[in-house]
Amino acid sequence: MGFKMGIVGLPNVGKSTLFNALTKTAAAQAANFPFCTIEPNVGEVGVPDARLDRLAAIAGSKQIIPTRMTFVDIAGLVKGASKGEGLGNQFLANIREVDAIAHVLRCFEDGDVTHVEGRVNPVEDAETIETELMLADLESIEKRRANLVRKLKGNDKEAQQQDRLLAAAQAVLENGQPARVVEVDAEDAKAWKMLQLLTTKPVLYVCNVGEAEAADGNEHSAKVAEMAASQGNSHVIISAQIEEEISQLEDDEAAMFLEEMGLEEAGLDRLIRAGYDLLHLETYFTVGPKEARAWTIRKGMLAPQAAGVIHGDFEKGFIRAETIAYDDFIACNGEQGAKEAGKMRAEGKTYEVKDGDVMHFLFNT
């Protein structure tokens, strides 16, 4: 399982440029006017992971298959979107389908690129988008609670739970806070997720800065960092223009270009890592002569469920997992060396998979 991240923001903040760079396509038209993205563009990228290459080299794997991440480029929201302004509700619906929101904020000065509000203020831009999402959630909650009245009169337990959760979300939203601040008990977690409220989505602020500021950011990105920290959210600094240039280069050329710009890695790597942290994700590997492959799971997932990411039958018939920690696999020069050194473990149904585990599943058909 990978995950789906929606790229949102006001018009002309660099969303489509970033999307093009991330997916190495020109599927999203990047142009200097609002609403150049009429339909949400979807692109998949392989998640870069140097560990996978090392494992494949040791195992002599013929094929390397990284885990995948999906980006959805959602057209620019504007003030009033929750009431249908701009391209309004169709884009709010697109946001419901993603796991997390990458909120691109304009942190660069450029007189040649129009700002929809006529000024550069990323904190106010973030507040504009958040307000529209909160208003859309409030409208949705009011309609849904009205539709539950009949079931509530009939003492429907599921309706009671849903109404209770909607009321909790409504209370914080009316107080000017996003629904993600609501504390939800484990027994309500599934029902809460099913509500699909826009402001429950975790947010990663992407500060789009000029090329010269890509390494350290600027005063605009510093204000975003302060805002993100106060909210318990995270942020990354990226120059969409640099990422677009890198996407056109071969690996060796890209590495030289990054070095010249004073950057240790591409923005894509930072963005994915921040996204993984945001959604509490990690990676395990399956390695053999045929292929070396990465699999994404949620932190804390048990071995049978991790096996189920490969195929449902692996989870249903799970017997045990032969497991080698990544560092042990490398240090012992592969599976055989790890076996001989006593570093391969047989783990059962209660084993919590760790990031970097190299696994082989045994199961009944």
Instruction: Find out whether 239 is annotated in a ligand binding site.
Output: no
Tokens of 40: 């949400």
Instruction: Find out whether 20 is annotated in a ligand binding site.
Output: no
Tokens of 228: 């993100």
Q: Give me the residues paired with residue 105 across strands.
A: 207
Instruction: Find out whether 37 is annotated in a ligand binding site.
Output: no
Instruction: Find out whether 123 is annotated in a ligand binding site.
Output: no
Cα 46 to Cα 23, 42, 197, distances in angstroms: 9, 14, 29
Instruction: Find out whether 121 is annotated in a ligand binding site.
Output: no
Characterize 323-357 residue by residue with b for buried, 16 or more Cβ atoms within 10 angstroms of its Cβ, and e for exposed.
Answer: bbbbebbbebebbebbeeeebbeebeeebebeebb
Characterize 271-306 residue by residue with b for buried, 16 or more Cβ atoms within 10 angstroms of its Cβ, and e for exposed.
Answer: bbebbbebbebbbbbbbeeeebbbbbbeeebbbbbb
Tokens of 217: 């950011």
Element (H or E) spanning 152, and its range? Answer: helix 149-153
CA angle 86, 103, 209 (to 5 degrees): 105
Residues in the annotated binding site for ATP: 12-17
Bind-site residues: 12-17
